Amino acid sequence: MNIRKNNRLLLWLKRSLLLAAVVALAGCATPQYATQTSYTPPQTAKGLICVAQCQDSLKQCQNSCSAARQSCIAHIEPAARAAFDSALKTYEVQRRQYETDRQFYELNRSLRMGFFNPVFVPGYGWVMRPSYYDDYYDDAPTPPVAPSLAKERQRMIHEQCDSAPCPCQENFEQCYVGCGGGVKKSVVCIANCKDSDPKPEPQPPAGTQ
């Protein structure tokens, strides 16, 4: 009977600890907000026709931005390959240096059987321990990271193509208001929000910087 009670107690404690951990993690989670945009259409037929023209302009602007991005990506390919080739040459130099450092590191570790054993230091030759060069190869050398053409291409696309200004949404909203409509922006909670958390300001449309 006591064994059953102990098992139940252990099970209850495990569940309580798990629940406490979940609550603690939830309390530490970062609040996530998003900017929500609501539109109030114009009250006149003329205003609605005007809004339709705004929507046509929005679509044309988005198509233009998409075409400009694709053109940017097409022109980036040669530059990305050139940057990759340069990084690859640097990597080969670093890799050879790493292999040399690794050999010296293994050699020094194998020779360190006593307190005053010699240590080979490139450019200085064999020196006796302990000395200024005693810890030269105490830490194992770190191998270099091989470059990636895909990562290099993505980096350049992000820096040169994705950052290009494309104020289509901002222009549409200005056009919408000019037609007599209303545009209202508000910040809404997505996850992990509390009433005591300060709400951020509504974010402008992407590509308007």
Query: Can you give the residue range of the structural domain that contains 183?
Result: 31-191
Contact (CB, 8 A) for 116 and 128: yes
Q: Which of 11-15, 137-141, 147-151 has the lowest mean pLDDT?
A: 11-15
User: pLDDT category, 9, cuts 50, 70, 90?
Assistant: very low
User: pLDDT category, 200, cuts 50, 70, 90?
Assistant: low
For residues 101-126, give the mean pLDDT: 67
Is the confidence at residue 70, as pLDDT, over 80? yes
Give the relative orientation of helices 168-178 and 45-111 as an angle to the nearest 10 degrees: 160
For residues 183-205, give the mean pLDDT: 73
For residue 35, tell me if it sits in a domain.
yes
Token look-up 């992000």 returns 158
The strand ranges marked E within the chain are: 32-40, 118-121, 125-128, 182-191
Which is more confident, 117 or 48?
Answer: 48
For residue 181, tell me if it sits in a domain.
yes
For residue 208, tell me if it sits in a domain.
no
Closest CA to 196 of 1, 13, 27, 2: 27
Which is more confident, 16 or 99?
Answer: 99
Question: For the whole prediction, is pTM greater than 0.75?
Answer: no
Give pLDDT, residue 187.
Answer: 83
For residue 90, tell me if it sits in a domain.
yes
Of 40-54, 108-122, 137-151, highest mean pLDDT: 40-54
**Is 122 in a helix, a strand, or coil?**
coil
For residue 209, tell me if it sits in a domain.
no
Closest CA to 137 of 154, 121, 113: 121
Give pLDDT, residue 189.
Answer: 84
Which one-letter DSSP state was computed for residue 116? T
Closest CA to 94 of 53, 143, 138, 49: 143
Give pLDDT, residue 117.
Answer: 57
For residues 13-18, give the mean pLDDT: 54
For residue 6, tell me if it sits in a domain.
no
For residue 51, tell me if it sits in a domain.
yes
Q: How far apart are CA 23 and CA 30, in angstroms?
A: 14
For residue 151, tell me if it sits in a domain.
yes
Token look-up 């990597």 returns 91
**Is 1 in a helix, a strand, or coil?**
coil
As a whole number, the mean pLDDT across the chain is 77
